[in-house]
Amino acid sequence: MPIDSTSAEEALFVASQWKLVWIRFLRHRLAIVGAVFIIIFFLIAAFCEFLAPHDPLERYAKRAFMPIQRIHFFDGLKPTLPYVYEKIGSRDPVTLAMVFEDDKSKKYRIRYFVKGGKKQEYKFLGFIPSNRHLVGVEKPDDDKPMPLYLLGTDRMGRDQFSRIMFATRISMLIGLVGVALSLFLGLLLGGISGYRGGWADVIIQRLVEFFRAIPTIPLWLALAAAVPPEWSQIRLFFAMTIIISLLGWPRLAREVRGRFLAMRS
């Protein structure tokens, strides 16, 4: 036992920096759980067209505010394959709100890796034509939307589950690109500040203090209100990414500057 512990300590002394980081990561259980969730989110972002049964922008006015669709596993008292009933909406005469009820005459079996109709076609990874989906119903009608709404619909009749899948892609991309830009700016400006010194150090440190003095949440609220409503989704994506990167680099720049100053001394 002492021999094993001694050899393990010697291995740590000669291990590379990346090896030490990996060992420390494996010892941190919360970090492992977080990494698993991040991997799941990135997989959803990469394959959201396959995971989503509907186009997130497709509107079905007659199915607005549809509640969560219940999945049935029993036909009476007999276990069966999962299925759903088609929802039929009607206007409540008192409240004038839409009320949806199950149409027991229209039963749809839930299938995996199902081939959708023409309304469910997409381009896998952006360039491969396909209409396969992870979850769907058997024999969907080409002229009608797939009658499967796992989380219901919004006020425009858009499928909530599909929109969440695609929103995961946008959120992960904004976080990834924003952090990458923050890392680049922090390393670049922090390195210049610590290596060059002089007037460059003074200017960069004043910029760091300026950005760190700005309260983050009120700034985000003000920028969200200032964004023109006619902007396209692409312009909004780049605007949010730039804002996140501009607010994230000052702290890293100061740490990098301190490392450079320590090496110079």
Q: How many CB atoms lie within 10 A of CB 49?
A: 24
> Going by C-beta distance under 8 Å and a sequence separation of 6 or more, which residues neighbour residue 136?
53, 110, 111, 114, 115, 116, 120, 146, 148
pLDDT band at 203 (very low <50, low <70, confident <90, very high): very high
Task: Please answer whether residues 35 and 43 qualify as being in contact, where contact means their C-beta atoms are separated by less than 8 angstroms.
Answer: no
- Tell me which amino acid residue 112 is: Y
pTM of the model: 0.76
Strand partners, 102: 87
Task: Please answer whether residues 226 and 195 qualify as being in contact, where contact means their C-beta atoms are separated by less than 8 angstroms.
Answer: no
Task: Please answer whether residues 116 and 146 qualify as being in contact, where contact means their C-beta atoms are separated by less than 8 angstroms.
Answer: yes
181-202 pLDDT tens trace: 899 999 999 999 888 888 888 9
- Tokens found for residue 63: 């199915």
3-state secondary structure at position 58: coil
Task: Please answer whether residues 171 and 178 qualify as being in contact, where contact means their C-beta atoms are separated by less than 8 angstroms.
Answer: no
- The Cα 86–Cα 66 span in angstroms is 11
Strand partners, 99: 90
Residue 4 has a pLDDT of 52
Residue 119 has a pLDDT of 65
Where in 116-261 does DSSP place strands (E)? 122-124, 128-130, 132-137
Report how far apart, in Å, the C-alpha atoms of 157 and of each of 36, 121, 146, 188 are: 33, 19, 13, 47
3-state secondary structure at position 204: helix
pLDDT surpasses 90 at 8: no
pLDDT surpasses 60 at 5: no
Strand partners, 16: none
Residue 37 has a pLDDT of 94
